[in-house]
Structure 1
Amino acid sequence: MAAPLNLEEGKSSTRPPHFKGHFYSWWKVRMHDYLMAEDNELWDIVLDGPFVPTIEEKDGEKTILVQKPRQKYEEADRKKIENGFKAKTLLVYGIGPDKYNRLSACESAKEILDCLKTAHEGIEQVKESKIDMLTSRYENFKMK
């Protein structure tokens, strides 16, 4: 994880860390810490996705889960939904307008982080390929 050479941005406990398109791994760790400091549930929401209130309904012999109607939401349901929007808002505040255009269609904090991760770290196959390439370059270097 490389940190930027020039830390232009001041450290603030009231604003999320700003991602300018470089040093994604560094920003992700800072955003993790920021969200955990705000509320320890926020990072879980980013990783797991938004909370959807459900109720059990009988369908003949089976019991199935269906989404609750808004009128039946309890206070705990509303709080969890609110935390989902808070996590999304803090992530959006942490990105610039150039990245926002790419992420504006995302509906949850998890989708935003997944899009950023794919764009800046690649999918698992790409990461494994890079590791293999760098390992072989290192081994060839040792031989020379």
Structure 2
Amino acid sequence: MTDKFPFGEGASINMPPLFSGVNYQFRKARMKIFMHSTDKGIWETIENGPFIPQVKRDEVLIDKPSSDWTEVESKKAKFDWISKNIITSALSCDEFFRVSQCSSAKEMWDILEVTHEGTNDVMRARKHALIQEYEIFRM
């Protein structure tokens, strides 16, 4: 049965898709959809980093003490914890230990992305190698 369904037999709207280190592009797209469907603020935390309420004192922005946060600020700040929970719930043991020391969900996402896709330079080099291989094959 595993040959017929290489990514499992289906999906759940309640659980993020499990990632064991194989087929990162598929998992990345599914995780993005899962996070958007849960709450738009969760994906914004992945893209922009955690929300940290700040206050201006003496023309300088400083982090606001958590005891002074409004209800809206608390909810926005909580998105980072929710995002971290979703990401870690979707990882195999090996992948979990790769990101377990990260301080934010954005950092976790970025580490997984660089690990499984490479940097922009690596992706560009892979693309050029594939184009060159195709052109040699065509000849």
- Quick one: distance in 1 between partners of 2:9 and 2:93? 17
Structure 1 residue 5 displacement after superposition: 5.5
| Structure 2 counterpart of 1:70 | 66
| Structure 1 counterpart of 2:134 | 138
| Structure 1 counterpart of 2:29 | 29
Instruction: Provide, for residues 45-85 of structure 1, a one-character-per-residue CA deviation record: whole Å limited to 9, x for no partner.
Output: 11111001100111xxxx22111112211111111111111
Percent identical among aligned pairs is: 32
Aligned length: 136
The one of 125, 130, 134 aligned to 1:129: 125
TM-score after normalising by structure 2: 0.92
In structure 1, give the amino acid aligned to 2:112: L
- Quick one: distance in 2 between partners of 1:9 and 1:96? 18
TM-score after normalising by structure 1: 0.89
- Quick one: distance in 1 between partners of 2:41 and 2:30? 16
* Structure 2 unaligned regions, length at least 5: none
Instruction: Provide, for residues 86-126 of structure 1, a one-character-per-residue CA deviation record: whole Å limited to 9, x for no partner.
Output: 01101110111111111111111101110100010000111
Inter-CA distance 26–57: structure 2 relative to 1 (3 Å threshold): same
Q: RMSD value over aligned CA atoms?
A: 1.4
- Quick one: distance in 2 between partners of 1:134 and 1:39? 38
| Structure 2 counterpart of 1:16 | 16
> 1:56 is paired with a residue of what secondary structure?
strand
| Structure 2 counterpart of 1:118 | 114
> 1:137 is paired with a residue of what secondary structure?
helix
- Quick one: distance in 2 between partners of 1:7 and 1:117? 19
> 2:14 is paired with a residue of what secondary structure?
coil
- Quick one: distance in 2 between partners of 1:87 and 1:7? 22
- Quick one: distance in 1 between partners of 2:63 and 2:9? 43
In structure 2, give the amino acid aligned to 1:140: I
* Structure 1 unaligned regions, length at least 5: none
> 1:107 is paired with a residue of what secondary structure?
coil
> 1:111 is paired with a residue of what secondary structure?
helix
- Quick one: distance in 1 between partners of 2:17 and 2:27? 7
Structure 1 residue 9 displacement after superposition: 4.5
